Homo-oligomer: A and B are copies of this chain.
Amino acid sequence: MADNKAPPKDVIRILVSTDNHLGYLEKDPIRGEDSFRTFEEIFRIAKAAKVDLVLLGGDLFHENKPSRSTFFKAGEILRKHCLGDDPVHFEIVSDQSINFPDTACVNYENPNYNISLPIFSIHGNHDDPMGMGSFSALDLLGQHNLVNYFGKAHNINDIKLFPILMHKGSTKLALYGLGSVREERLHRTFQSKKVQWVRPLEDKDSYFNLFVLHQNRLRRNAFYKNSISESMLPAFLDFVVWGHEHECLIDPVESVQKRYFVTQPGSSIATSLSQGETVPKHVGILEIKGDQYRMIKKKLQTVRPFKMQDVVLSELNLDEEDVEEASQSLPQEMLPLIRIRVDHNGYRKFSSARFGQKFVGKVANPEDILLFSKKQRAAPKKTA
């Protein structure tokens, strides 16, 4: 795929991204704009790549009820990139009143709006439907025609997944989506065979079947109540975009039972200072032609540098040079995030905040550079 060249008439080109967490630390004077800056970059990439659509995997917003400021900034970016006269080159042949219950219409077909770049999104656990009427923040963006929000399960005990059927030239795409559901409940629904995958009535074998979900991912042929295992997903799927997991594993890998391929784009901003978030952040440009796909990854350039290092006090004396060293190996345009996990076994803890004061102006997170533990252990449980 060459940038700056529209996809051929039989190719559906999709930018995939997830966990943008808009509004994360919005009040932080250093990091407050990070989520928005990268979200903006993602749309610059989408436009440069002339994609047909953008597919988001949930956690668009960090807060379930985003502040007015965050909601406004999100709207600014979406308005800037999604409105316009450029034509959309695919058509939807499924029942839109089932796909998009709020609006009953994909945004670019609404005659009162000019949409040039359609976005399709499920919700994550951060922006899931809640409260009176069970609305998500995505319902609001959907109502104002900036996002096509889909995959909201109305009965968690009995889930029917209706695909959005997209045609472009001879390529046919069935896009399935399921917004975040509490892991244990979804697990149970899968186990009791109450997840129905509705297939196209006509020519179902001619469709490329793409699924986007937002759950804990289990990369083994096993069942754990708090995860969705790859082996629970049906064999007719061709490709899965896995949201919620913040580690960027963008290169598609075959599922454990060799049924389909999976990409895990990871978050576009680090919301926990854990190992998984240190992996360079990417988005994917997925191209589908007939039953074939290919994916090109694009490294995000605006993500704040983040470096993590382990130190064992009994083996080494921690001093400020470790921080200096860690931060100097990173590009310096933006203050980096630095985390040093300190195994202080046999030593007393000292004040992380006081330690950090020396790095104000040099590190973006002076208050929590140090993470103390009594012995080496896995990364702390993250909320993704």
A residues in contact (CB < 8 Å) with B: 26-27, 65, 67-69, 71-72, 75-76, 79, 83-85, 111-114, 131-133, 135-137, 139-140, 143-144, 146
- Candidates B26, B69, B76, B113; contact of A112 at CB < 8 Å: B113
**Are A131 and B67 in touch, CB under 8 angstroms?**
yes
> Can you sample 24 A-B contacts with CB below 8 Å?
A26-B132, A27-B132, A67-B131, A67-B132, A68-B132, A68-B133, A68-B135, A68-B136, A68-B139, A68-B140, A69-B132, A69-B135, A71-B140, A72-B133, A72-B140, A72-B143, A83-B112, A84-B112, A85-B111, A111-B114, A112-B113, A113-B114, A144-B144, A144-B146
Give the number of copies in the complex: 2
**Can you name the residue of chain B whose Cβ is closest to the Cβ of A144?**
B144
Chain B residues with CB under 8 A of A144: 75, 144, 146
A179 to B351, CA, bound (A): 48
**Are A75 and B140 in touch, CB under 8 angstroms?**
yes
**Are B65 and A68 in touch, CB under 8 angstroms?**
yes
**Min CB distance, A69 to chain B, in Å?**
4
**Min CB distance, A65 to chain B, in Å?**
7
**Min CB distance, A272 to chain B, in Å?**
23
A71 to B102, CA, bound (A): 14
A72 to B142, CA, bound (A): 10
Chain B residues with CB under 8 A of A83: 112
